[in-house]
Amino acid sequence: MANEVLFANIQPLQKGEEKYAISFVVPMATKGLRILSRKSYEEHANSEFDYPLSTHFDENDALIYCDDVRVPWDRVFVYRDTDMCRAQFQDTWGHSSQNYQAQIRLMVKLQFLMGIAKRIAEVNGIIGIPSVRDSLGRLAAYTSMVEGMMHGMEAAGEMVNGFYGPSRHLVYSAQVITQEMYPELVNIIRELAGGGLIMLPSSVEDFSDTEISGLIERTQKSPATDATGRVKFMKLAWDALGSEFASRHVQYEMFYAGAQFVTRGHMFRTFDWDNATGMVDDLLGRYGLPQDANGKRQAAE
């Protein structure tokens, strides 16, 4: 929901792509502007009990298509200038700031998923198995690493024009790592859940049938809760890990910042290579070939 929409290129353009180098803002109600949305997971979620996340937190992705849209020149910021298109995000704090908030969001999401993982182990009665605790410890390390990188971004930030900004190269470092980590983390939690994520009643309506409800009571066993509690939790876990809503989140975390080679490129551009190579050059400068008493270099044996 918005009053206006910004058209721009977040990923840097190359020489020869000037016709794409444009940045402008137009009202959402502009004639010829069309919004092509994907299927709404919220609309198709039949109940909160079956889809507790989809019914509340679906962010509807869309493609915006311009069919002969008139853009007044006073609403154009950049035109056929690839360097300025890059600069509006990369030379300002726009790009790093929006990705900083994305890491805050991811940190909280991972903490929530840790709660899902621990509850799965408890509901399935496997919390005491050493290999399960090993998996939970690994998941906790991943989540704590993201939290630690968040603290690092803030601690290593800098003042720019009177405002404090996070460390750019740590923001991009977190992106590179979490793009690869998130699908692995989700897969580990799904392994903990096993078939319990899908061996569930078809919907909350099954509980209203006395016969079916009795079967649910006999088949949905758990040492941590009753049958209704187990089904309720596993429905939540499925919506967080395996539903269309959940699959969208995996895809989003992998690609919201661009392809992995794009985020690695940001990391390459922002890392302090001079300091790293300087340490190597400093060490190399401290020694050379050994010399004899007459100052002549000794030949290696």
Please check whether residue 64 lies inside any domain of the structure.
no
Please answer whether residues 21 and 78 qualify as being in contact, where contact means their C-beta atoms are separated by less than 8 angstroms.
Answer: yes
Span 121-126, average pLDDT? 96
pLDDT at 297: 60
Please check whether residue 278 lies inside any domain of the structure.
no
Confidence at 36, pLDDT banded by 50, 70, 90: very high
pLDDT, tens only, 156-200: 998 888 889 899 889 989 999 999 999 999 999 999 999 999 999
Q: Which of 69-78, 135-144, 273-282, 284-293 has the lowest mean pLDDT?
A: 284-293
The fraction of the chain above a pLDDT of 70, given in percent, is 97
Please check whether residue 142 lies inside any domain of the structure.
yes
Q: Answer whether residue 261 shows pLDDT above 90.
A: no
Q: Answer whether residue 212 shows pLDDT above 60.
A: yes
pLDDT at 299: 56
Q: Answer whether residue 301 shows pLDDT above 60.
A: no
The fraction of the chain above a pLDDT of 90, given in percent, is 76
Q: Answer whether residue 300 shows pLDDT above 60.
A: no
pLDDT at 76: 96
pLDDT at 256: 82
Q: What is the mean pLDDT of the chain?
A: 92
DSSP state, residue 13: P
Q: Answer whether residue 295 shows pLDDT above 80.
A: no
Please check whether residue 290 lies inside any domain of the structure.
no
What is the distance between the alpha carbons of residues 278 and 296, in angstroms, rounded to a whole number? 29
Q: Answer whether residue 275 shows pLDDT above 90.
A: yes
List all residues 6 or more positions away from 258 whose beta carbon is below 8 Å from its beta carbon.
10, 11
Please check whether residue 221 lies inside any domain of the structure.
yes
Span 147-154, average pLDDT? 95
Number of compact structural domains in the chain: 1
Span 46-57, average pLDDT? 96
Q: Looking at per-residue confidence, does 22 or 298 come out higher?
A: 22
pLDDT at 266: 79
Range of the domain at 194: 93-271
Most confident of 7-11, 243-247, 270-274: 243-247
Q: Answer whether residue 260 shows pLDDT above 90.
A: no
Give per-residue burial for 218-230: e unless 16+ CB within 10 Å, then b.
eebebeebebeeb
CATH code of the domain containing 232:
1.20.140.10
What is the distance between the alpha carbons of residues 195 and 234, in angstroms, rounded to a whole number? 10
Strands (E), the chain: 4-7, 22-27, 33-37, 62-66, 76-79, 158-160, 163-165
Confidence at 298, pLDDT banded by 50, 70, 90: low
Length of the chain: 301
Please check whether residue 127 lies inside any domain of the structure.
yes
Span 92-96, average pLDDT? 84
pLDDT at 296: 63
Please answer whether residues 182 and 107 qualify as being in contact, where contact means their C-beta atoms are separated by less than 8 angstroms.
Answer: no
Please check whether residue 171 lies inside any domain of the structure.
yes
Please check whether residue 243 lies inside any domain of the structure.
yes
CA atoms within a 13 Å half-sphere pointing along the CA-CB vector of 251:
8
Q: Which tokens hold the place of 165?
A: 């900004």
pLDDT, tens only, 127-143: 999 999 999 999 999 99
Q: Looking at per-residue confidence, does 5 or 270 come out higher?
A: 5
Q: Answer whether residue 252 shows pLDDT above 80.
A: yes
